[in-house]
Amino acid sequence: MAGTLHVELVSADRVVWSGEATRIIARTIEGDVGILPGHAPLLAVLAHGVVDIQSTEGQTWVAAVSDGFLSVADDRVSVLSEYAELSHEIDVEKARADVTRAKEAGEDDTEALASLRLAEARVRAAEQAS
C-alpha cells in the first residue's frame, strides 16, 4: 500500500501489534521521533516510554514500552522491546501503585529506577489513550 508504513511492535514474548500505519511516534534516548512514510533509514535505541501508532484505519494504538530498539527501512518499522503493553491492557490503578512502590524502593538502585520508568510509561500510555 503506497504511502503507508508496515509496523511491528514486538516484546520479548509476543507480537503486540502488527499492521499498516500512517505514522508512529516513539521515545528514543535522544528524544521523541516521528516516523512517516518515506522516512530515511534509522536505527535508534528506545527509552522507557510510549509508542503511538496511527493505523491506516484511523485508529490510534498506544503502548508502553521498556528500552529496546527502533528500526526503519523501506517503510517498514520494527519496534523491539523487552516489554510492551497496549494501553487498553493496562490496569491504571495497578500501574499507579507500581509507581509509588518503585519510588519507595529508591532511585539509587538501577533495577528500581528501571521499574519506576516502566511504571510511569504504563501510566502515561493508559492516560494518553483515554
Domain co-membership, 45 together with 100 = no
* Predicted local confidence at residue 69, as pLDDT: 98
Per-residue pLDDT of the chain (130 residues; tens, 9 = 90+): 459 999 999 999 999 999 999 999 999 999 999 999 999 999 999 999 999 999 999 999 999 999 999 999 999 999 999 999 999 999 999 999 989 988 887 666 777 788 889 999 999 999 987 7
26 lies in which domain range?
5-86
Same domain flag for 40 and 68: yes
Q: Please tell me whether residues 96 and 54 are part of one structural domain.
A: no
Based on the domain organization, do 12 and 57 belong to the same domain? yes
- 9 with 63, same domain: the answer is yes
Q: State how far the Cα of 89 lies from the Cα of 17, in Å rounded to an integer.
A: 12
Check whether residue 98 and residue 76 sit in a common domain.
no
Side-chain half-sphere of 35: how many Cα atoms within 13 Å? Answer: 32
- Contacts with 60 (C-beta within 8 Å, 6 or more apart), sequence order: 52, 53, 54, 129
DSSP string, 58-105: S-EEEEEE-SEEEEEETTEEEEEES-EEEGGG--HHHHHHHHHHHHHH
Do 94 and 82 share a domain, yes or no? Answer: no
Burial of residue 96 (number of CB atoms within 10 Å: 0-12, 13-18, 19+): middle
Instruction: Give the rounded distance of the alpha carbon of 66 from its chain centre.
Output: 7
Cα-to-chain-centroid distance, residue 17 = 11
Cell representation of residue 107: 532511585
Total domains present in the chain: 2
| DSSP-based three-state secondary structure for 44 | strand
In this structure, are 98 and 73 located in the same domain?
A: no
Do 42 and 100 lie in one domain? The reply is no
The CATH number of the domain holding residue 50 is 2.60.15.10
SS3 of residue 110 by DSSP: helix
Residues 20 and 54 in one domain: yes
